[in-house]
A and B are shown apart, each in its own frame.
Chain A
Amino acid sequence: MSQQFIQLVVSGLAVGSVYALVGLAFIMVNEATGVVNFATGQMVTIGCFLAVTTGLQMNLPLAPAYVLALAAMALFGVAFYAIVFRPLQDRPVVTVIIGTVMIGIVIQNAALITWGSVPFRPRSPFGRQVIDVFGAALSAHALFVIVVSFLMIGLLYLFIYRTAIGARMRAVAQDRDAARLMGISVDRMFVLTWIIAGLLTGAAGILVGPMWFADVNMGDPIALKAFAAIIIGGFSSVPGAIVGGVLVGLAEMLGAAYISSTYKDGLVFLVMILFLLVRPEGIFGERIGQRA
């Protein structure tokens, strides 16, 4: 295996695992509420900049800086639910979707006013350390991103499929009215869903900051690729988000290296369109009719 290939695969996995985290945030909200949250990219931006505030501007050690930023993102999720989703939840889905687009624009401009237009370079827990693996120079932070992302995804999987609260969340996702009749507090499950979305996007923002710098426009391209990832993996599937994210990340890197850097984004979106045409439920997703 060539050094180049190792480097590209690690870069692709790092990028792909971030797409997977963001894709999961899309899926969590969509499954629970039936809404695609088009402010997901801006939530990544806010997560990254909260870590800029705690880790760079307040100069806290990185561990507490990250915890504080994540806690703030959990609150952000609650605020998003209370201010945006709850008032709109009984409106047509299109209204809610447009609401998330609008709030995304508001968040982005609020970030611009708060943090300014000049990008920041957040610190990494590993500094600029590079690890030599079979002659390939691998960024320690990229490896950290992969490990943390998959750890978070694993914990989320356990939470959803191995805990009572997770079962309640799934019940709400399957049939909101039936869940309510079973005594489940649907509103609490919604709040929890938005908290998880805040944590996932916040973690994604914290992880990508040291790799890609923090700037107020960083969220949309990430969300767009994550969206492609969940189309490919399956819109309602946790494994689908992981596989889709990794596939998109690897396709970007390997496509640019071995096919054409000019058309690498085109390749990703071509694959997405092919899935929409041939297998719209994605690799792991279930057909809408099968969910009933």
Chain B
Amino acid sequence: MQSKRGFGRRKAIAGAAAATAGITIWSQRLSAQSGEIAVGAMVPVTGPFNVSGQQYHFSLQMAQDEINAKGGVAGKKLKIVFEDVKDSNSVAVNAYLKVVRDLNPPFVFLSSYTTQNLATEPEVTKAQIPCVYAGGGDALHLKKNPWMFRIRPYDGLQALALAKHATEGLGKKKIGIIYVQNDFGQPGAISADKVVKAAGAQVVGMEAYAFTDNDMSAQLQKLKNAGADCLICISYGKDGALILKLLKEMNIDIPVVISSGVMVPAARNLIAPDELARVNGVMDAYLAAERGPEVAAYIKTFKDRFKIEPDPFGSCYYDAAWILKQTLDKVGPDRTKIRDELKAVKGFKGVTNAFSTDADGNMVHSLAVFSIKPGTRDPVFIRTIAS
């Protein structure tokens, strides 16, 4: 009796699971065939990357609705099918394969993290589906994959901007570099080291920390003892905020030039104004209302809808969606034609940047440098550094 009931329950669960999976696949395939153009989006909705993933998700949701309100793409509705890629390369690859299998899309928005995109890159080559991505790692554009296009500044450019601003902008001669030890921080630190030395300044120390570390006081102390008169900090949001907090606690009072992850609103809000007093930072874009009515409207709509400020990391996907609309309107859902159109993008003005594709598939070629208005968390634009 018991085993019968157990068997029945198992069957019911299995049936429900199969039905759910079937409905999901059926509905996605149906949507791809019925008056809609469905494209995939690989978004880190959960896991440690979800702060930027949420911005990416929201930006594309907003773009999709606005594009459809203006007639859609190539006369059809645009449907963006989101897949959660968490913080795992294997999940990212499987998500990509799932989208390719279920949707057979003409275009995919890839993850905003380089390692995931590096893992997915061979599948992109096999599938021959054009895609855009926001991960900054130089390793990706060096592969020169003709199907992949980057919609934010590459990390080498960020390292160049950090080092240039520390040496030429602030005139510092003894630079300490602290960096997150991964594919973002390590190459960035090496690039920054070269630029600092080329500028005639000295790198007095380079210290690493793990992405999951919560206390970098030992590294900061070493850099202070080495005589650093300025720190270059290559980090993400929360870890960068922790470094600035620790510097204040440890009475290390030297200027810091920090990477873009810390300059986004979510990270800046973690930092007290006095901890930001000597901070300069780079950002992918100068995303401020004074840049023009389109940018102002974007910021207002985003804030009204999602109750948070947009940041440049996610907003570049909004721009990419509009580039996609322009492309689909022109050539329809033909993958090769879309790829060729993306290769030829020149001077597309988005809310984050102007986009022009180079031979490596990079579409953005400049960064903005900011200081912080004293006593606040508000960035003040200083200058743009181009590649």
Residues of A bordering B, CB below 8 Å: 4, 7-8, 11, 15, 108-109, 112, 116-121, 128, 130, 137, 139, 208, 211-213, 215-218, 220-222, 252-257, 261-262, 264-265
Q: Does B212 contact A (CB under 8 A)?
A: yes
Residues of B bordering A, CB below 8 Å: 46-48, 50-51, 53-54, 181, 207-210, 212-219, 221-222, 225, 237-238, 241-242, 248-251, 266, 269-270, 272, 308
- The answer for the CA separation of A112 and B219 in the assembled complex, in Å, is 31
Q: Check A217/B48 contact, CB under 8 A, given A4-B221, A11-B218, A253-B217.
A: yes
Q: Of A4, A11, A118, A265, which contacts B51 at CB under 8 A?
A: A118
- The answer for the CA separation of A218 and B308 in the assembled complex, in Å, is 22
- The answer for the CA separation of A88 and B349 in the assembled complex, in Å, is 58
- The answer for the CA separation of A220 and B211 in the assembled complex, in Å, is 12
Closest-by-CB residue of B relative to A15 is B215
CB of B96 to closest CB in A, whole Å: 22
CB of B337 to closest CB in A, whole Å: 37
Q: In the complex, are the beta carbons of B217 and A8 less than 8 A apart?
A: yes
- Given A128-B248, A128-B272, A261-B222, 7 extra CB contacts under 8 A: A7-B250, A11-B218, A117-B51, A118-B51, A120-B270, A256-B209, A256-B218
Q: In the complex, are the beta carbons of A253 and B241 less than 8 A apart?
A: no
Q: In the complex, are the beta carbons of B46 and A109 less than 8 A apart?
A: yes
Q: Of B47, B214, B269, which contacts A212 at CB under 8 A?
A: B214
A-B contact pairs, 26 of them (CB 8 A): A4-B225, A7-B250, A15-B214, A108-B46, A109-B46, A112-B50, A117-B50, A117-B51, A119-B266, A128-B248, A128-B249, A130-B249, A139-B249, A211-B215, A216-B50, A220-B212, A252-B218, A253-B215, A253-B217, A254-B218, A256-B207, A256-B209, A257-B218, A257-B219, A261-B207, A262-B208
Interfacial chain B residues near A130, Cβ < 8 Å:
249, 251
Which of A4, A218, A222 has the most C-beta atoms of chain B within 10 angstroms of its own C-beta?
A4
CB of A121 to closest CB in B, whole Å: 5
Q: Which 8 A-B pairs have the closest CB atoms?
A: A256-B218, A221-B212, A212-B214, A257-B218, A117-B50, A217-B48, A137-B251, A262-B208
Q: Check A213/B218 contact, CB under 8 A, given A109-B46, A119-B51.
A: no
Interfacial chain A residues near B208, Cβ < 8 Å:
261-262
Q: In the complex, are the beta carbons of A117 and B221 less than 8 A apart?
A: no
Interfacial chain B residues near A211, Cβ < 8 Å:
214-215
CB of A209 to closest CB in B, whole Å: 11
Q: In the complex, are the beta carbons of A262 and B221 less than 8 A apart?
A: no
Interfacial chain B residues near A213, Cβ < 8 Å:
238, 241-242, 270
Which of B219, B225, B250 has the most C-beta atoms of chain A within 10 angstroms of its own C-beta?
B250
Closest-by-CB residue of B relative to A5 is B221
Q: In the complex, are the beta carbons of A118 and B222 less than 8 A apart?
A: no
CB of A18 to closest CB in B, whole Å: 9
Q: Check A8/B218 contact, CB under 8 A, given A121-B270, A137-B249.
A: yes
Q: In the complex, are the beta carbons of A253 and B250 less than 8 A apart?
A: no
Interfacial chain B residues near A218, Cβ < 8 Å:
214
Closest-by-CB residue of B relative to A259 is B218
Q: In the complex, are the beta carbons of A212 and B242 less than 8 A apart?
A: yes
Q: Of B51, B54, B219, B308, which contacts A261 at CB under 8 A?
A: B219
Q: In the complex, are the beta carbons of A252 and B215 less than 8 A apart?
A: yes
CB of A193 to closest CB in B, whole Å: 28
- The answer for the CA separation of A178 and B57 in the assembled complex, in Å, is 56
Which of A4, A8, A120, A261 has the most C-beta atoms of chain B within 10 angstroms of its own C-beta?
A261
Q: Of B50, B213, B221, which contacts A257 at CB under 8 A?
A: B221
Q: In the complex, are the beta carbons of A212 and B222 less than 8 A apart?
A: no
Interfacial chain B residues near A257, Cβ < 8 Å:
218-219, 221-222
Closest-by-CB residue of B relative to A222 is B214
CB of A242 to closest CB in B, whole Å: 19
Q: Check A11/B242 contact, CB under 8 A, given A109-B46, A262-B208.
A: no
CB of A102 to closest CB in B, whole Å: 15
CB of A205 to closest CB in B, whole Å: 13
- The answer for the CA separation of A259 and B361 in the assembled complex, in Å, is 41
Interfacial chain A residues near B50, Cβ < 8 Å:
112, 117, 216
Interfacial chain A residues near B221, Cβ < 8 Å:
4, 7-8, 257
Interfacial chain A residues near B218, Cβ < 8 Å:
8, 11, 252-257, 261, 264
- The answer for the CA separation of A215 and B239 in the assembled complex, in Å, is 11
Interfacial chain A residues near B219, Cβ < 8 Å:
256-257, 261
CB of B267 to closest CB in A, whole Å: 8
Interfacial chain B residues near A262, Cβ < 8 Å:
181, 208
Closest-by-CB residue of A relative to B265 is A118
- The answer for the CA separation of A239 and B380 in the assembled complex, in Å, is 53
CB of A266 to closest CB in B, whole Å: 10
Closest-by-CB residue of B relative to A118 is B266
Closest-by-CB residue of B relative to A221 is B212
- The answer for the CA separation of A211 and B214 in the assembled complex, in Å, is 8
Interfacial chain A residues near B54, Cβ < 8 Å:
116-118
- The answer for the CA separation of A2 and B39 in the assembled complex, in Å, is 60
Q: Check A7/B212 contact, CB under 8 A, given A128-B272, A213-B242, A217-B48.
A: no
Interfacial chain B residues near A8, Cβ < 8 Å:
217-218, 221
Interfacial chain A residues near B210, Cβ < 8 Å:
264-265
- The answer for the CA separation of A221 and B248 in the assembled complex, in Å, is 24
- The answer for the CA separation of A77 and B244 in the assembled complex, in Å, is 35
- The answer for the CA separation of A265 and B208 in the assembled complex, in Å, is 11
Closest-by-CB residue of A relative to B209 is A261
